[in-house]
Chain A
Amino acid sequence: MLGPTGASPPLGPTTIHVALLLSVAFAVLAGAAGYWGVVRAPELARSPDDAAVIAASRTVPRGQILDRDGTVLASNEADENGELYRVYLSPTISQVIGYASRIYGRAGLERTFDAELTGLAGDPLTDAFAKFGAQRYDPKDLTLSLSHDLQQAAVSALGKRRGAVVMLDPRTGEVLALASTPTYNASRLANPATAAATFEALRDSPAQPLLPRATLGRYVPGSVFKIVTAIAGLGSGAITAETTYTEQPRAERTGLLVEGFRVRDGHHPETGSTALDLIGATEVSCNIWYSLTGLETGGAALVDYAGRMGFGAPLPFDLPTAISQVTNGSGTDPGGFVDDVELANASFGQAETFVTPLQMALVAATVANDGELMRPWLVTALSGAGGKRTIGPESMGRMLSATDARAINEAMVQAVEGPLGRRFTSGAKVSGVTTAGKSGTAELGGSGEPHSWFIGFAPADDPQVVIAVLVEQAGRGGEVAAPIAGRLMTRWLKGGE
């Protein structure tokens, strides 16, 4: 009698194969548990979306936020139920610190450092055991590099106009002021009694007070972008500081013809038939010289050098930043330009070029710090019951050689202090200190006043402060933004530390 198992192959081996496959599948699951529970855990467990972070926020006092001088910018008060809410020193810092509201969530540094302020964060190893202790939360106080005095000065310099001021120390990347106007009263958002009405009013306001213009506003840069072109041109070796173009003086009168488009300038009465070099062209903000430099450099190198300074991606910063762009990348020419017309226009900051004020401050900082760009940062120390952790400066890398950086530095000094530069850029000079800078008047096309820009630094021979000023639709950069920059740099260098 034949049994079925007599002729068919035994089931043992195939069953073992199936068992092995299932074991491998389960091993994958164990691996995934390790991935989420260990590798990704620090990031997930500290995210403001984490349920534990949200739950703790109502009962555990948040850490305070202090400025560089120890002034308390954000602290806690208890409502009638004993639940805590935030109060902030002044509206001038709202765009930086943001708010922590029970109803509307978090913004700004309150969002980025939510886990630390709540006291959930730490390193994963000590965290693994901290949860067995009685004190589960260790809220950290944040110390900022920001100066509240300078911040207030920046906000009042902007006045009722919409705009932004970024000031940083080029040697370290420390952000000294990060003002955006209009401001808003974050205390009223954080207070449960006034939150709803305040939020609705802010949301519906056409002035967009909730928008931190310094980091999330994207603007046509105009001539301040020429510094990026100079960096790319010198850095890539396409030009030198002495490069001149024979066609440039001739083109001043009628405009430079690029593929049927005329690049025009407004300074020919002053320079006449002189062929300009980097210094001369920067002093009078020569669109034609910069167009030719951009074309000489090429779209690929221009986008590449801009990218090294942070264009094309969110900046590595403590706050979310909008992405600055040289071009929208829709074209097929190198770098994503549509044609040479776009490249020529982008070279002096028109076309499809959009930047954040913070990004332009980094461009100026690159020149100021002899070609090495320091990562911008705001939070310099976290201190709690477990001690104090300081955060140090960090380099984003060398963007161009010190020699090239000094050449641009010199050109920017000329743009502020040269005989012709003074005429275009009045009021940026810090008295008694060599000041470097570049103004910009960003045409928006159609009607409406241009955006007024200035980027610069001082002292030019030993830069201690970099500034970027943007005033929305306020007119010429040299007339509106430059004086604000001059005042604020003076205040920092002479009135501050």
Chain B
Amino acid sequence: MTAQAGRAGTSPAPRSLPRVLGPIRPRARWQELRLLLLVALTLAIGSVSLGTALTGEVGLHDPWGLGIYLAALLGAHGAQVLAGRRTDQILLPAVAMLGGLSLLLMERLPQDLVIQRFFGTSFGLAEVQLIWLVGAITVAATLGIIVRSDSWLRRYKYTWAAVGVGLLLLTFVLGTEINGQRLTLQIGPISGQPSELLKVILVVFLAGYLSENRALLVEQDTRVGPLRLPPLPYLAPMVAMWAIALGIVVVQRDLGAALLFFGVFLALLYAATGRISLVLIGLVLFLLGSAAMANLFEHIRTRIDIWIDPFSDPLGAGYQVIQALHAFARGGLLGMGLGGGLPEIGGRPPIPEIHTDFPLAALGEELGIVGVVAILGIYLVIVQRGLRIGVAAADDYRSLLAIGLALVIGIQAFIIAAGNLKVLPLTGVTLPFISYGGSSLLANAVVVGLLLALSDKGVEPPPLPRPGSRWRRLTRRAAA
């Protein structure tokens, strides 16, 4: 990867460019350490609260699980200290808090919701989630340390786009259908949800496309009646995005992923161009497409009907959504306390699919509105860090990449939280860092890892614009 900088040739030979395996100069990260200690303290209190509620005796609920998780956090922190990176110090603690809440929640739910066998040993819900959480923290920290150049993302945007479309097609052909949705792709022993990875690829592609064509999209107009539009050929990717979003709806029957992709696309398009007209056209296209899809697919129509009035079928289609609202109602302002809520009926939690689709409702019951608002606040902190990293980045590509990655987390959290709270129809996207599931945790870890890498003040400068690029052509024309 670092070879790229050398090949660009035009930039002066870097004097002290840090290398992956270069000399290590440890650099303390006090802010991160302080925040991580706060997280550890909070989680310990949570664990005591959970243990006390479940057993009636004061004590940590699962000292080993919490210990392993905190050790992983300490390891990630230590690795960054040793690597001497000047990366963002707030992202990791924020994510660690959400992941810790996820661990406490999964420990608290019936463990047989998920049983996975690895090497002859079976693991329950919390154990599997802990494995993924540790993996996610490792991935985020590792990416934050070793990614020193963005050219592998920047140069091959169309390749990445092709990979993304390929994944989508693969899901269509080989995906397994669960509850009317085709979200899961299973190849051999490995199964995962491609849309989680797709969202990262989407941002990689969009950042590349928009950073190259920003100027054109901003400055040139085509008049279509009263509308002032950018040059029509440059709208092609927008139409392609629209088609892909609808394709996701068709292939995966998943309105949530489509909403996420298109939302990120429109937000990034606006950030790059500042043109409201483009966003409005995009919205109209999306609404038209969704309406058509709702007419075509029973599954989507049902979701929308449930959203409009779940109480019309409280024991059938509306059951899950209504039970989630009941959970918020039981929680009230202060919550029932960890382990104090979620009354079980016949040994089952009150909300079906609570660990993947309704963790916010579960936390809403146990931590109350106060807890929900705090969780929403942490997501906003993550988004704010990402946007800051984006605005401070060295060039448009990195800016848009960081902004896009931050928006992926923010918009995804919004979509599923809104589904839990009946603000939007319920969709199958996960609550980042909290929902159970490896694909989701790992993909979001990649997002955080890339944000950490992009925040590094000591990283390689971006490559110079290539001669013959659209940018060059444009500026030459402007000069003439």
Contact = CB atoms under 8 A, between A and B. Distances in A.
Interface in A293-322: none
A106 B256 CA distance: 37
B90 to A, nearest CB: 16
A364 to B, nearest CB: 35
B299 interface: no
Contact of A15 (B271, B330, B421): B271
A40 B330 CA distance: 10
B211 interface: yes
B214 interface: yes
Contacts of B315: 49
Contacts of A40: 325, 329
Nearest to A21: B267
B380 interface: yes
B332 A38 contact: yes
B391 interface: yes
A211 interface: no
Contact of A11 (B314, B344, B380, B400): B400
B373 A22 contact: no
Interface string A94-128: 00000000000000000000000000000010011
Main secondary structure of the interface of B (DSSP, over half): helix
A38 B331 CA distance: 9
B396 A11 contact: yes
A18 B411 CA distance: 11
Contact of B380 (A1, A21, A22): A22
Given A32-B422, A128-B333, 7 more contacts: A8-B218, A19-B387, A22-B407, A33-B373, A51-B323, A55-B343, A131-B336
A45 B326 contact: yes
Interface stretch (A23-31, A217-225, A377-385): A23-31
A454 to B, nearest CB: 39
| B: contact size bracket | 35 or more
A44 interface: yes
The 4 A-B residue pairs with the shortest CB-CB distance, nearest first, are: A51-B350, A44-B329, A55-B343, A32-B421
A26 B337 CA distance: 24
Nearest to B331: A37
A41 B329 CA distance: 4
Given A12-B391, A37-B332, A38-B333, A32 B326 contact: no
Contacts of B369: 30, 33-34, 37-38
Given A12-B391, A44-B325, A50-B330, A26 B379 contact: yes
A56 to B, nearest CB: 7
B412 to A, nearest CB: 11
Contacts of A131: 336-337, 340
A87 to B, nearest CB: 24
Interface in B429-480: 464-465, 471, 475, 478
28 contacts: A2-B475, A5-B395, A11-B271, A11-B396, A11-B400, A18-B271, A18-B403, A22-B380, A26-B379, A26-B414, A28-B418, A28-B423, A32-B422, A32-B423, A33-B373, A37-B328, A37-B331, A38-B332, A42-B329, A44-B326, A50-B326, A50-B329, A51-B326, A51-B327, A51-B342, A51-B344, A54-B343, A131-B336
Contacts of B410: 22
A15 B391 contact: yes
Contacts, number: 159
A440 to B, nearest CB: 36
Contacts of B383: 19, 22
Interface of B: 211, 214-215, 218, 267, 270-274, 314-315, 322-323, 325-334, 336-337, 340-345, 350, 364, 368-369, 372-373, 376, 379-380, 383-384, 387, 390-391, 395-396, 399-400, 403, 407, 410-411, 414, 417-418, 421-423, 464-465, 471, 475, 478
Contact of A36 (B270, B325, B387, B395): B325
Contacts of B273: 14
A7 B383 CA distance: 27
A299 to B, nearest CB: 32
Contacts of B323: 51
Contacts of A11: 271-272, 390-391, 396, 399-400, 403
A9 B275 CA distance: 11
Nearest to B327: A51
A45 B332 CA distance: 9
Interface of A: 1-5, 7-9, 11-15, 17-19, 21-23, 25-26, 28-30, 32-34, 36-38, 40-45, 47, 49-52, 54-56, 124, 127-128, 131-132
Contacts of A12: 391
A212 to B, nearest CB: 21
Contacts of B464: 1
Contacts of B329: 36-37, 40-45, 50
Given A15-B271, A18-B270, A56 B340 contact: no
Question: Which of A13, A26, A28, A36 gathers the greatest number of chain B CB atoms within 10 Å?
Answer: A36
Question: Which of A9, A19, A37, A47 gathers the greatest number of chain B CB atoms within 10 Å?
Answer: A37
Given A8-B396, A23-B380, A15 B387 contact: yes
Contacts of A42: 329
A95 B144 CA distance: 69
Contacts of B387: 15, 18-19
Contacts of A5: 395-396
B271 A30 contact: no
Nearest to B411: A22
A44 to B, nearest CB: 4
Question: Which of A9, A33, A49 gathers the greatest number of chain B CB atoms within 10 Å?
Answer: A33
A185 B239 CA distance: 67
A128 B332 contact: yes
A111 to B, nearest CB: 14
A371 B421 CA distance: 46
Given A17-B270, A18-B407, A33-B364, A54 B345 contact: yes
Given A22-B380, A52-B343, A131-B340, A7 B391 contact: no
Nearest to B343: A55
Question: Which of A12, A25, A28 gathers the greatest number of chain B CB atoms within 10 Å?
Answer: A25
B332 A49 contact: no
B368 A37 contact: yes
Contacts of A34: 369
A164 to B, nearest CB: 29
A49 B391 contact: no
Contact of A26 (B267, B322, B325, B376): B376
Contacts of A124: 332
A54 B350 CA distance: 10
A51 B345 contact: yes
A51 B271 CA distance: 45
Contacts of B391: 11-12, 15
A23 B379 CA distance: 10
Contact of A52 (B330, B379, B421): B330
Nearest to B376: A26
A482 B474 CA distance: 98
A19 B384 contact: yes
Contacts of B390: 11, 15
Contact of A29 (B330, B384, B418): B418
A52 B349 CA distance: 11
Contacts of B332: 37-38, 41, 45, 124, 127-128
A8 B215 contact: yes
Contacts of A52: 330, 341, 343
Given A18-B407, A128-B333, A33 B328 contact: yes
A4 B395 contact: yes
